[in-house]
Amino acid sequence: MQIRSLEMFHVKMDLVAPFETSFGIEKERECIIIRAEERGGEEGWGEVPASSGPWYSHETAKCEWHIIEDFISKDVIGKEIEKPQDIWKGVVSRIRGHNMAKAGVDMALWDLYSRIEGKSLSKAIGGEKDRIESGVSIGIKRNLESLIETVKSNVEKGYRRIKLKIKPGWDLEVVREVRKELPDFPMHVDANGAYDMSYLRLFRELDRYNLMMIEQPFSFEDLVQHSELARLIRTPICLDESITSKERAVEAYRIGSCSIINVKPARIGGLTKTLELHDFCVSAGIPIWIGGLLETGIGRAHLVAAASLPGVKYPNDISASSRYYREDIVIPEWSVEDGFIRVPKGRGIGVEVAEEKLLRFAQRRLLIK
């Protein structure tokens, strides 16, 4: 396929409710939607789920826009590409960091490629599941009553696992109270890097609550302290922010920093990189699951395809469109039935982009030929 153009849409969508983590509160979601078009007129869609500020990672929507416009697009447009992996041979592999920008383009090309091949995205990447397990991530709330109410309503909706965001001062008591309500429900916590080894006593306490895992307790740059903690508690450590590539995963594996990985395709550079990381994790015996970054329905489609891979062993942070948005930009919107999301069988991402809605949410648009 020869790529004729890339189009970027800088989108802002209100969240149905503010989402609070240890690194801040998000009330609206910013991202870049990417459309890639090839010479024959076929198109593919991807998403850069970088938000307005550098809080989850250094990437922001404005910054990734610049990286795509001024660097990535130059190496993709006009190029004859056999498969999406090919873009990783050129300029893309020389750009340090900016995995989210690379991911948005990589994903658009995977959608395009699978449409041309007449396959679903899931099949094109080697997915094997026809439905994926859906979990839900629950932010920090004003008080315990409102948290418990939110947790219960999500359990009633059928989600198969809940994840509670924690931060210093919103941790042990929160877990204890939720466990009282749901003694056996699959549950884990995510600190987004808010702690360090001086909190060892807290982690020893949390160790008593039968959590499936503790996600990213320490800094986004750390592997060593995580490996120390992993030796001192029974609850498995899961890494999110620290795993930015397959190479980082190999290091984490060698020093025992984690026994589970939350794979976010956008964090590591897209589906090409997800497949490399996935295959390493399968060979090393590290179970993975697919995490999210509040993606719109377009990014969510790529998450669903990734979650259909055989190495995915835990419920994913892939919930229904309605968990975050009043209206999504795909048709049909993503829905959860009995705790599962069906993997689409149609060509490519398997959902249609609602272009008039996309344009309504787009603040800025750029066609690069």
Of the candidate residues 59, 106, 190, 328, the single one contacting ligand OSB (CB under 6 A): 190
CA distances to 35, 130, 154, 296 from 330, rounded to whole Å, are 14, 20, 23, 8
Q: Which residues contact 142 (CB under 8 A, 6 or more apart)?
A: none
Residues 350/157/15/290 CA torsion (nearest 10 deg): -50
**165 in catalytic set:** yes
Window 140-179: contact mask with ligand OSB (x via CB under 6 A): ----------------------------------------
Long-range CB contacts (within 8 A, 24+) of 243-247: 243/267, 243/268, 243/277, 244/99, 244/268, 245/99, 245/269, 245/273, 245/277, 246/273, 246/276, 246/277, 246/280
Catalytic residue among 102, 141, 165, 167: 165
Catalytic residue among 102, 246, 264, 357: 264
Which residues from 223-242 bind ligand OSB, rule CB under 6 A?
Answer: 240
Of the candidate residues 20, 47, 317, 328, the single one contacting ligand OSB (CB under 6 A): 317
Residue 198: how many other CB atoms lie within 10 Å: 7
The amino acid present at 299, given as its one-letter code, is: G
DSSP string for 137-185: EE---SSHHHHHHHHHHHHHTT-S-EEEE-BTTBSHHHHHHHHHH-SSS
Q: Does 222 bind ligand OSB (CB under 6 A)?
A: no
Residue 14 CB, shortest distance to ligand OSB, in Å, is 16
DSSP state of 334: P
Q: Does 317 bind Mg ion (CB under 5 A)?
A: no
**180 in catalytic set:** no
Nearer to Mg ion, 192 or 321 (CB): 192
Residue 137 CB, shortest distance to Mg ion, in Å, is 8
Determine the Cα–Cα distance for residues 173 and 159; give it in Å rounded to an integer. Answer: 23
Of the candidate residues 3, 33, 45, 56, the single one contacting ligand OSB (CB under 6 A): 56
Taking CB under 6 A as the binding criterion, the range among 149-157, 176-184, 279-287, 291-299 that sits at the site for ligand OSB is 291-299
Nearer to ligand OSB, 133 or 190 (CB): 190
Of the candidate residues 240, 276, 295, 328, the single one contacting Mg ion (CB under 5 A): 240
Taking CB under 5 A as the binding criterion, the range among 93-101, 154-162, 175-183, 210-218 that sits at the site for Mg ion is 210-218
- Length of the chain, please? 369
**Percentages of the chain per state (helix, strand, coil), in multiples of 5:** 40, 25, 35
> Which residues sit at the interface with ligand OSB, rule CB under 6 A?
56, 137, 190, 192, 240, 291-294, 317, 319
Which of the residues are catalytic?
165, 264
> Which residues sit at the interface with Mg ion, rule CB under 5 A?
190, 215, 240
